Every structure is written in structure tokens, then in C-alpha cells.
């Protein structure tokens, strides 16, 4: 201990006498900075030798680094041990602003500047990144790789538990990126610590004496919408470090990968990196305080400080208030789905019981508003609503008034399994927390009988070749065309879905039609990237009686004793996995079919219904 402390003082001469925030250059590519409570040594890529309470919290591990990724290779994006592929390289550092008790220390790279705002009495620092020249990317993040003997546990809003013991990886079989099979049949994977980004309060790693936390008072600079999921903390499998991730730009995980180029000048953050004594309770208290402080008054940036509000009310065209709807304020370019938008700033909220919403502290600019069902009283609403050209002015309220949300009318529902919430909640084994391999418990063949079966009899995922059958009585359905709606909460690598009606194939959904979102085999039990399809069922495809339906050599029997009926089945052509969210069959009764292209992957398949 004595030798280590002497070495620290030699590395940082004058540190013991430092007054408040400081930056000191060691050589042309190394600096030390911090305050009287902590200090960090920054090299050209990695920042290590993090001293807090006389303890080095990094030791031989990588420490702090930041960068971007545009490859599907996890080895490129996360497990960087070769000097920094796609990591930011720091060219110089300087104090660019000061307050009475803080200093803004900026590290400059070709792509942009990472700032550490150090307050004299704060253990940790506020951070933000100003983009200058990032290319189109899937990932932008900051990372800590810390001493695993100090940081034993990982905490998110979903999980709070010990990180897997490093010794478990020795004889484990690697099955995919950072996912390992143990001899007892269980798995170790970093994806079990994933979460829904905009549901986070704070996350980090901690032990009995120290904690390192990321606290975001706002997620406005984060990409995507309410359905965005991402990585948080995990055990690094090759060296054993405790990894704490801050993945702000992510159009890769739990969705179909897409490249997005952040706007030049976009500011990621600020957020708080917070050090404490390992107390989760203290971190929670600090998180609550940061929420009240947003937007930060110390941040002297005119665009950041220029804000207004957006408000409005959503009501369905059938008269119902759109209670509990998901509302997203995003890009005006509707050709990019909300789940992969990542150029500008994004805001989310939920309507109240009357359908009213209000979004405060919105950066000034132009937006488009999107809203969709989050289940509940909107369980049968599969359409969405958009409001174009929402303009937010400084210190003004953009009052959108009453917004009508069109829903189909004049139709009767034959059956519906689950809610139209774009998630797998309610189905067996669906929901949180994340868990790899749980789809193996789903049966290959399943029969669901409307009127006798419950939603919980339908599994959240199918992972074995087989046929899932829906049996129902269509008595009382009026003559005319019908519509089959298929809602997939996610669709992962490899499967082909064959949808038949009375032995007549409606569609074969190959991987070319439904791209891989990787959610299911990365521990997802709720959603990936939502896909929605509709099929027009003509009268010559429907007739009474008992019908045999086949899919890839596997047979489906459909009970249809009275009037025209329809069913659908998922057929797995290979061994990979897919979410099968829910089906709904309705009588169109001569009404036009509502469908949307591009903005959220909704599409119509089949001839136009009779008018």
C-alpha cells in the first residue's frame, strides 16, 4: 500500500496540494485530471490509474475509453484489447470553461470532443460528447473496465446481483458473443443484464467499498424510442474485468442493424458518472437529485438551454380516449423507423387516462410525433398515429390540440390472442428479466382453442420445428372479405414463417423478408423490432367444414363449422428462433384496410377488399 501511494504521488506531482478541479499534462499524449477526491490518468486512448480514497479502481484493466462501431462483430465493438480499433484517440486536452467551483476539461479527437466537467466537491464528473465528424454508425459509447476484485456486483433497474464468477468461464462452452454454456445446462451472458433504455433510473457496478454509476437526467440524446434496449454491465469473459457500459447511440442491439450518422454538432449528454462507497441507496438518491437539476444551469450552450414544451390529446376515431398510449417525438424523416432513429434528439411519454400528454424541456426545433398502443384499453388497436411538423420554440408551448387517431370501423373480431403492444407480455415465459435459452421450453407443436385456451397458453417464442394451431368457431360472421393480422414482437435469425389458410399458402416469410433483430437469442423475452403484416382473405378461400392445413410437411387442422374461417400457423423451416407475437382475424365488412409503409414496418398483403 505504501509503495503504491508513493508511486501515485510521483506520477502526479503536486496532486496533494491541488485546489479543486485540475488538468496536468504529463507528456504529449498523457494527462492527469480530477479534483481533491479523485484523479484519473488519460492516455491517447485509455484512461486508467483511477484513484479514489487512495485506491486504484482500475489496476491492470483497460479503464475508461470511448468510441464507435459499425460492424456486427462484438469483438470489434466491445472487447477491444489491441490498442483501440474504432476507439477515439485523444490529440490534446484543455480546460475550455470554468465556474466558481468547476472546470470543463475537454479531450479532442478527430471525431469530436469528450468533456469531463469536474466539480471541486464531487466524486465523479459530468460528461458530454460534442460530435464533429462521426461517420454513419451503429454504436457510440463510453466504457469502464474496472477491477473485478473491487466491483463485484452489477445493478440496473431490473437486476441487482453479483456478476458471474470469472472462474466459471474457464470450462464453459462459448455458444455466441459473450454467451457461454455451463456443464449444468445454464448460461452466462452479458445480455441477461440488458434493459429497456428509457426505463432506466441508473446503472453501474459496485462492491462493499466502492461504486461506479451512470446517471442520466434525460435520455434526449439517446437514439430510438421506448422499445430501445441495450447493454449495461457485465463480466468481460476474456480478462474478467467488471464492465460498465454507456451506449448512447445504438441502432444495433435488439433491432435490425441500421447505420445512422449523428448530426454534426449534436451533443451526447451531459450525464453524471458518479463514484461512491458502493451504496445503491446513495446512488438512487443522487439520481433523484439529478432529475430535479435538469437541464443543467452550468452548461453554457445556447442550443442546450433553448427549450420549449409539447402537449396534446389523442382520441380514437371511435370515440375512445387513447389512454396509456406510447408517444414518441422524433425525426421528421418518416422513412426511418423510430426504433432506429439516431440523428437528432428524441423524447418519449405516455398518455394519461384521458389521452392527454405533455413533454417538457424539449430542445427547440422541428419534430414528428408518433403514437401507438401500449396495450391496456388499447389492446385491439394496431394502427398508429402521426402528427407532422411539430415546431418547438424557446419558452413556448407547442399545443397540438385534439389529435384524431383513425382506427378501422364496422368490423367484428373473431379472435385475438394477446394485446397489440408490440411486446410479448402475457404469453408464457414472456416478460422480464432477460434470460438466455428460455425459448427452449416452448413446445414444437401447440394447439390454441379460442374460448377454452388462455393467453398464457400461448408461448412467447418458438424455437423448434413445428406447427402452432389456432382453432376457433366463426359463427355469426357476415359475408365478405376478412383480414388476418399478424403482429411479431420480434423476429430473429434464420426462421421461415409459412402462413396458410385452409391449405392455401398466404405467405412465406423468409429471412430476406424479415431481417434478423437478434433479440431472442440475446436473452430477449419481451421484444425486438416489431413487424406487422395483414392478409386479405377472399371469399373463395373460405368455406365451411373441417380443413387440413399443411406447412412444410407438418399438418394443421382447423375447425370451421359454420361460416368462412381463417387461421394461421408458424412453420419453422430450420432450427433457429422467432417471436410469434399474436394473431387477429376480423371481418372487414366492406371497409378499407388501414396500412402504413416505411414509418413502422406495417404492410398489407393481398388484394384490396371489396368496397
pLDDT category at 71 given cuts 50, 70, 90 is low
Q: Say if 268 falls within a structural domain.
A: yes
359: domain CATH number? 2.60.40.10
The C-alpha atoms of residue 315 and residue 279 are separated, in whole angstroms, by 45
Rg of the chain over Cα atoms, rounded to whole angstroms, equals 27
Q: Say if 296 falls within a structural domain.
A: yes
The C-alpha atoms of residue 412 and residue 418 are separated, in whole angstroms, by 17
The C-alpha atoms of residue 392 and residue 544 are separated, in whole angstroms, by 57
At 520 the three-state DSSP class reads: helix
Q: Are residues 260 and 399 in the same domain?
A: no
pLDDT of residue 541: 65
Residues facing residue 365 across a β-bridge: 392
Final residue of a structural domain among 274, 304, 334: 304
Q: Are residues 46 and 117 in the same domain?
A: yes
Q: Are residues 358 and 464 in the same domain?
A: no
Final residue of a structural domain among 355, 371, 405: 405
Query: Structure pTM?
Result: 0.85
Q: Are residues 202 and 240 in the same domain?
A: yes
Q: Say if 610 falls within a structural domain.
A: no
Q: What is the pLDDT of residues 377-400, one digit of tens each?
A: 999 999 999 999 999 999 999 999
The Cβ-side half-sphere exposure at 565, using a 13 Å CA radius, reads 25
554-558: list long-range contacts, CB under 8 Å, 24+ apart. Answer: 554/445, 554/465, 554/466, 554/467, 555/467, 556/467, 556/469, 556/500, 557/469, 557/471, 558/469, 558/470, 558/471, 558/502
Rounded percentage of the chain residues whose pLDDT exceeds 70: 81
Give the residue from 213, 211, 215, 233 showing the smallest Cα distance to 278. 211
Rounded percentage of the chain residues whose pLDDT exceeds 90: 69
Q: Are residues 475 and 568 in the same domain?
A: yes
Q: Are residues 181 and 268 in the same domain?
A: yes
Q: Are residues 118 and 245 in the same domain?
A: yes
pLDDT of residue 477: 52
pLDDT category at 512 given cuts 50, 70, 90 is confident
295 prior amide bond cis, ω within 30: yes
Q: Are residues 66 and 174 in the same domain?
A: yes
536: domain CATH number? 2.60.120.260
400 close to 355: Cβ distance less than 8 angstroms: no
pLDDT category at 493 given cuts 50, 70, 90 is confident
Q: Are residues 488 and 549 in the same domain?
A: yes
Mean pLDDT, range 360-383, rounded to an integer: 97
Q: Where are the beta strands (DSSP E) in 225-288?
A: 229-230, 233-235, 242-250, 267-276
316 close to 381: Cβ distance less than 8 angstroms: yes
Report the run of H or E that residue 579 belongs to, with start and end. strand 578-579
203 close to 214: Cβ distance less than 8 angstroms: yes
CB within 8 Å of 565: residues ≥ 6 apart:
414, 472, 474, 477, 502, 542, 544, 558, 559
Q: Are residues 452 and 581 in the same domain?
A: yes
Q: Where are the beta strands (DSSP E) in 317-425?
A: 326-330, 347-350, 356-363, 365-372, 384-392, 397-405, 412-416
Report the run of H or E that residue 289 belongs to, with start and end. helix 280-293
Owning domain of residue 370: 306-405
**pLDDT of 75 over the 90 cut:** no
Q: Say if 502 falls within a structural domain.
A: yes
Q: What is the pLDDT of residues 292-302, one digit of tens each?
A: 999 999 999 99
CB within 8 Å of 267: residues ≥ 6 apart:
128, 129, 130, 131, 221, 301, 303, 304
216: domain CATH number? 2.70.98.10
User: 76 φ, ψ to 5°?
Assistant: -75, -40
At 135 the three-state DSSP class reads: coil
Q: Are residues 313 and 300 in the same domain?
A: no
| Residues comprising the chain, all counted | 611
Q: Say if 368 falls within a structural domain.
A: yes
pLDDT of residue 78: 37
Q: What is the pLDDT of residues 311-324, one digit of tens each?
A: 999 999 999 999 99
**pLDDT of 549 over the 60 cut:** no
Q: Say if 219 falls within a structural domain.
A: yes
147 close to 57: Cβ distance less than 8 angstroms: yes
Final residue of a structural domain among 304, 333, 367: 304
The Cβ-side half-sphere exposure at 223, using a 13 Å CA radius, reads 31
Domain count, the chain: 3
**pLDDT of 561 over the 70 cut:** no
Where is average pLDDT lowest: 121-125, 304-308, 334-338? Answer: 334-338
CB within 8 Å of 119: residues ≥ 6 apart:
21, 35, 101, 102, 125, 126
Q: Are residues 396 and 532 in the same domain?
A: no
The Cβ-side half-sphere exposure at 326, using a 13 Å CA radius, reads 23
Q: Say if 611 falls within a structural domain.
A: no
Q: What is the pLDDT of residues 439-487, one digit of tens each?
A: 999 999 999 988 899 999 999 998 888 888 888 765 545 566 778 889 9
Q: Say if 577 falls within a structural domain.
A: yes
**pLDDT of 492 over the 70 cut:** yes
Amino acid at each position: 500500500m505504501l509503495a503504491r501511494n508513493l508511486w501515485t504521488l510521483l506520477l502526479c506531482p503536486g496532486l496533494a496540494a491541488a485546489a479543486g478541479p485540475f488538468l496536468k499534462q504529463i507528456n504529449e499524449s498523457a494527462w492527469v485530471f480530477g479534483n481533491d477526491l479523485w484523479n484519473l490518468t488519460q492516455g491517447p486512448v485509455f484512461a486508467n490509474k483511477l484513484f479514489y480514497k487512495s485506491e486504484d479502481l482500475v489496476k491492470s484493466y483497460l479503464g475508461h475509453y470511448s468510441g464507435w462501431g459499425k460492424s456486427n462483430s462484438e469483438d470489434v465493438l466491445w472487447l477491444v484489447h489491441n490498442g483501440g480499433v474504432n476507439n477515439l484517440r485523444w490529440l490534446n486536452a484543455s480546460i475550455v470553461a470554468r465556474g466558481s467551483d468547476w472546470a470543463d476539461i475537454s479531450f479532442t479527437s478527430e471525431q469530436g470532443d469528450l468533456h469531463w466537467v469536474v466539480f471541486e466537491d464531487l466524486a465523479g464528473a459530468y460528461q458530454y460528447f460534442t460530435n464533429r465528424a462521426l461517420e454513419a454508425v451503429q454504436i457510440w459509447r463510453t466504457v469502464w473496465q474496472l477491477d473485478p476484485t473491487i466491483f463485484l456486483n452489477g445493478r440496473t433497474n431490473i437486476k441487482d446481483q453479483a456478476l458471474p464468477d470469472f472462474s466459471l468461464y474457464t470450462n464453459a462452452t462459448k455458444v455466441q458473443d459473450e454467451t457461454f454454456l455451463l456443464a449444468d445446462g445454464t448460461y452466462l451472458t452479458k445480455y441477461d443484464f440488458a434493459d429497456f433504455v428509457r426505463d432506466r433510473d441508473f446503472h453501474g457496478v459496485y462492491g462493499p467499498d466502492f461504486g461506479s454509476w451512470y446517471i442520466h437526467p434525460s435520455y434526449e440524446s439517446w437514439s430510438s424510442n421506448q422499445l430501445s434496449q441495450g447493454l449495461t454491465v457485465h463480466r468481460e469473459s476474456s480478462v474478467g474485468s467488471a464492465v460498465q457500459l454507456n451506449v448512447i447511440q445504438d441502432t444495433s442491439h435488439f433491432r435490425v442493424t441500421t447505420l445512422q450518422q449523428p448530426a454534426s454538432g449534436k451533443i451526447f449528454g451531459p450525464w453524471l458518472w458518479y463514484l461512491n462507497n458502493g451504496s445503491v441507496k446513495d446512488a438512487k438518491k443522487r439520481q433523484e437529485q439529478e432529475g430535479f437539476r435538469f437541464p443543467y444551469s452550468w452548461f453554457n450552450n445556447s442550443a442546450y438551454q433553448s427549450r420549449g414544451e409539447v402537449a396534446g390529446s389523442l382520441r380514437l376515431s371511435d370515440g375512445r380516449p387513447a389512454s396509456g398510449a406510447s408517444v414518441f417525438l422524433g425525426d421528421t424523416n418518416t422513412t426511418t423507423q423510430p426504433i432506429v432513429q439516431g440523428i437528432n434528439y428524441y423524447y418519449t411519454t405516455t398518455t394519461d387516462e384521458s389521452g392527454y400528454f405533455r413533454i417538457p424541456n424539449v430542445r427547440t426545433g422541428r419534430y414528428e410525433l408518433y403514437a401507438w398502443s401500449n396495450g391496456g384499453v388499447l389492446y385491439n388497436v394496431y394502427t398508429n398515429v402521426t402528427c407532422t411538423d411539430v415546431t418547438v420554440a424557446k419558452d413556448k408551448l407547442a399545443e397540438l390540440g385534439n389529435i384524431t387517431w383513425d382506427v378501422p370501423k364496422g368490423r367484428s373480431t373473431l379472435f385475438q390472442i394477446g394485446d397489440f403492444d408490440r411486446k410479448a407480455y402475457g404469453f408464457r415465459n414472456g416478460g422480464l428479466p432477460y434470460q438466455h435459452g428460455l425459448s427452449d421450453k416452448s413446445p414444437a407443436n401447440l394447439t390454441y382453442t379460442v374460448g377454452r385456451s388462455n393467453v398464457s397458453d400461448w408461448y412467447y417464442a418458438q424455437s423448434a420445428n413445428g406447427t402452432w394451431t389456432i382453432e376457433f368457431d366463426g359463427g355469426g360472421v357476415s359475408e365478405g372479405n376478412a383480414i388476418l393480422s399478424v403482429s411479431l414482437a420480434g423476429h430473429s435469425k434464420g426462421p421461415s414463417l409459412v402462413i396458410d389458410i385452409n391449405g392455401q399458402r398466404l405467405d412465406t416469410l423468409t429471412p430476406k423478408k424479415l431481417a434478423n433483430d437478434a433479440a431472442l437469442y440475446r436473452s430477449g423475452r419481451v421484444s425486438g423490432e416489431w413487424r406487422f403484416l395483414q392478409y386479405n382473405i377472399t371469399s373463395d378461400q373460405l368455406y365451411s367444414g373441417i380443413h387440413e392445413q399443411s406447412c412444410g410437411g407438418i399438418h394443421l387442422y382447423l375447425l370451421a363449422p359454420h361460416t368462412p374461417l381463417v387461421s394461421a400457423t408458424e412453420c419453422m423451416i430450420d432450427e433457429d428462433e422467432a417471436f410469434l407475437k399474436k394473431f387477429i382475424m376480423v371481418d372487414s365488412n366492406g371497409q378499407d384496410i388501414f396500412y402504413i409503409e416505411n414509418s413502422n414496418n406495417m404492410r398489407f398483403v393481398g388484394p384490396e377488399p371489396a368496397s
